[in-house]
Amino acid sequence: MSTVHPLGMTRVRRRIDAPRTRVYRTMLDPSTLAQWKVPDGMSLRVHEFEPREGGRIHISLVYDSPTETGKSSEGTDSYHGRFVRLVPDRLIVEVDEFETADPALRGEMTSTIELYDIGDATDVVATHENLPPAISLADNEIGWRMALDKLAALVSRP
C-alpha cells in the first residue's frame, strides 16, 4: 500500500516476512545497502555511512544505462546527509540533500522509516518528505517500492 501526497511527500507501506530486529539491522548495515537501497536500473556506491544519531551519509546512485542523465552528474545521483534519529528496531530518520547546482533539485529531504510488528512479520512504513520540486513523486514512490521489495527478499532469506 502507498500514498502519494501533494506537497512533496511520498509514503510507502510494505509487509516484510522477517522479524523487526532483522529488518532494522539490515537497513543500517553498510554492507547490505547496495543490495536493497537502490532502484532497478542503478547501482549504489557507499562513500560514507555512519549508522548512529548524527552519523554522516554519502551515497551515489549510478545509472546502469550510459544514456541516463543524473541529478548530480552524467549518470549519477549523489546525496549526502545525516541520521537525525535512530530508535533501535523501531525508527530511522535521516535528512539528505542531492549534490547538485540545480535549484529545482536542492533542499533537505527527510526520510522516516517506521517498523511495526504484525505477527511474525514487520510492517515497514517509509515516508519521504520535502522532496524538491523537480523530483517526480510517482518516480520516488516507485523507487521506494523497488527498494523495499529488495529489502524484503534480502531479509526473508533463511
pLDDT band at 46 (very low <50, low <70, confident <90, very high): very high
Q: Whose CA is closest to 135, among 112, 111, 114?
A: 111
pLDDT of residue 5 exceeding 60: no
Residue range of the domain that includes 101: 2-155
pLDDT digits (tens, 9 = 90+) for 127-153: 999 999 889 999 999 999 999 999 999
Tell me what the mean pLDDT of segment 80-109 comes to. 96
pLDDT given for residue 72 in this prediction:
73
pLDDT given for residue 158 in this prediction:
63
CATH number at residue 123: 3.30.530.20
Mean pLDDT of the chain: 91
pLDDT given for residue 24 in this prediction:
98
Sheet holding 9-16: strands in order across? 2-5, 9-16, 121-129, 109-118, 91-98, 76-87, 56-63, 42-49
pLDDT given for residue 70 in this prediction:
73
Q: Structural domain tally of the chain?
A: 1
